[in-house]
Amino acid sequence: MKIIVLVKQVPDTWGDRTLDLRTGWLDRGSSDSVIDEINERALEVALSYQDGNDAEVVALTMGPDSAKDILRKALAMGADSAIHLLDGGLAGADLLRTSEVIAAAATKAGFDLIIAGNESTDGRGGTLPSLIAGRLGVAQATYLDSVVITTDAVSGHRATENGSMTLHSPLPAVVSVTEQSAEPRFPNFKGIMRAKKKPVTVWSLADLGLDAAAASAHSVITQTSPRPARVAGTKIVDRGNAGVELAEFLAAGRLI
């Protein structure tokens, strides 16, 4: 079993995050960068299976040179190796370009199962796992609160507005997990020391056979603006008609 886990370097959610108003890109220098927490949960799903089964776990990221730090974190947690997709032509890549590059890397590396988080804390697109599955032509099971992996299949539970459903798929497949999934383990000292000796493969667009001159983004940000300052909320004082005023307020906001 070969499991690829997608990991991403994101700004620390406890820090301030701002947009570069000129490019529309996230200003990644405005706060510390860390591995996305949802990716740690995805990695834990893979490692938990590996604990009792014969499996190889590979952490894969696409990002700048600094993204190597989060790969070391994934290796310290227990991943066997890592792949870093590093190329200047990927700056500002959107979801379509990202899915193309990751799908090419997964094909080159080989896999039985790809596990990702349901959405990143910076982009919040929520569609990358599905786009990758579509490009690879394999089944997908997304937004899973729990995952069960066997030698030839994967299954899990997805919560919906009307209840829950159980999804099953043969391998190969792509799955994504939510924050309700496995609680990630902490790297111990032995894991941190071992991570220094584990292999990290760096691939460029040329290594993947992709056109380095192709546009990084098919979608274009045309306008950005700072988040408006918070203002005082609407206060309703009960003078006998508070219920009517509240209903009108909710109706105006299309909440009822």
What does the pLDDT average to over 9-28? 72
At residue 31, the pLDDT reads 60
* Rounded-to-5 percentages of helix, strand, coil across the chain: 30, 25, 45
Residue 199 has what pLDDT? 96
Residue 210 lies in a domain: no
Residue 71: HSE in the Cβ half-sphere, 13 Å Cα cutoff: 26
Identify whether 243 is part of a domain: no
Closest CA to 195 of 34, 110, 82: 82
Q: Judge whether 129 lies within some domain.
A: yes
Q: What is the pLDDT of residue 30?
A: 55
Confirm whether 85 is domain-assigned.
yes
Q: Model confidence over 185-233: pLDDT tens digits?
A: 999 999 999 999 999 999 999 999 999 888 787 777 777 777 788 888 8
Contact 64, 92 (CB under 8 A): no
Cα 62 versus chain centre, distance: 11
Phi (first) and psi of residue 182, to 5 degrees: -55, 140
pLDDT tops 80 at residue 23: no
DSSP characters over 163-194: EEEEEEEESSEEEEE-TTSPPPPPP-HHHHHH
For residue 244, give the H/E element and its range: helix 242-252
CATH number at residue 101: 3.40.50.620
Q: Which domain holds residue 88?
A: 2-203
Measured distance CA(249)–CA(237) in Å, rounded: 13
Residue 199's nearest CA partner among 72, 35, 69 is 72
199 lies in a domain? yes
The number of folded domains in the chain is 1
Q: 114: helix, coil or strand?
A: strand
Least confident of 67-76, 103-112, 176-185, 218-227: 218-227
Domain membership of residue 74 (yes or no) is yes
In a domain, 130, yes or no: yes
pTM: predicted TM-score of the whole model, two decimal places: 0.85
In a domain, 27, yes or no: yes
